[in-house]
Amino acid sequence: MIYKFCTETDTGLTRGNNEDSVAFDESTGLAVLADGMGGYNAGEVASSMATSLIKAEMGRWLAEAGGQAGPRDICRAMGICVDNANKAIFNAANANAQYTGMGTTLVVGVFQDDGLLLGHIGDSRCYRLRRGELTQITRDHSLLQEQIDAGLLTPQQAAMSMNKNLVTRALGVENAVMLELNECRVEDGDLYLMCSDGLSDMVSDAAIAEILAQQTSLAQRALNLIGAANQHGGRDNITALLIQAEAVQEKRGVISRLLGR
């Protein structure tokens, strides 16, 4: 399987700065997205630290592994890298009064062969479009999601709630954080979207699916997602990272081609 990556980010229509941060390494199949929180520019600092530290450390480990690491090893390495980033952000917040309380959500994925190892913290999401059907493959760590799980709210009521941004888990807020890990099988033609809540809060899943299914370039679809979020108010920073999976076509020998095999 080969993977193509494309990302777009936008400040939105109401924010003065962009606290989202995104990074990827196509050579190792690594993708990282973070949405920061905190006063002044602290959210921007936290998200930037998360993506840069995880990309550097995890990317180096994956490059050294050379594609030979199994899912268990990748999960262990991802957990260590995220824990190191968490401690770095937490310590920076404690050392600088301007950054007190800063933190960030996180989505990190490793696409290797026909598998995806996915980790997340908070309410930034990963979706998969497969044969026209959109599936959210992360579960928000948020107060709203807990209320839905407890039967206190329906998803429809949650969509209208004013408490969308109350996360129950974030990177860098405490000395330790729990990374939720999932392993997914990738199929030829799958399209994955990692995004901040500036997209998912502004654009319905149905509209996201419609844009992802367009027969345009990845770059154009990413721009269309950003545009849709801004058309619906653009109340937050908006980031979309697209990953397209395509099966490798094996080259046949000359004799096999001549014989039609």
Residue type, 119: G
Q: What are phi and psi of 10, to 5 degrees?
A: -150, 145
What's the confidence (pLDDT) of residue 40? Answer: 63
* Average pLDDT in the chain: 91
| pLDDT of 259 above 90 | no
The two structure tokens encoding residue 186: 């990738």
For residue 136, how many other CB atoms are within 10 A of its CB? 14
54 closest CA partner among 70, 36, 69, 34:
34
Q: In what order do the strands lie in the sheet with 238-246?
A: 2-10, 238-246, 191-195, 125-130, 133-136
- Which range among 103-112, 158-167, 199-208, 236-245 shows the weakest confidence by mean pLDDT? 158-167
Give residue-wise pLDDT tens across range 160-171: 666 667 788 999
- What pTM did the predictor assign? 0.90
Cα–Cα separations (whole angstroms), residue 250 to 1, 247, 253: 11, 9, 10
What's the confidence (pLDDT) of residue 78? Answer: 97
What's the confidence (pLDDT) of residue 158? Answer: 67
Give residue-wise pLDDT tens across range 209-235: 999 999 999 999 999 999 999 999 999
Give residue-wise pLDDT tens across range 129-180: 999 999 999 999 877 767 777 777 777 666 666 666 778 899 999 999 999 9
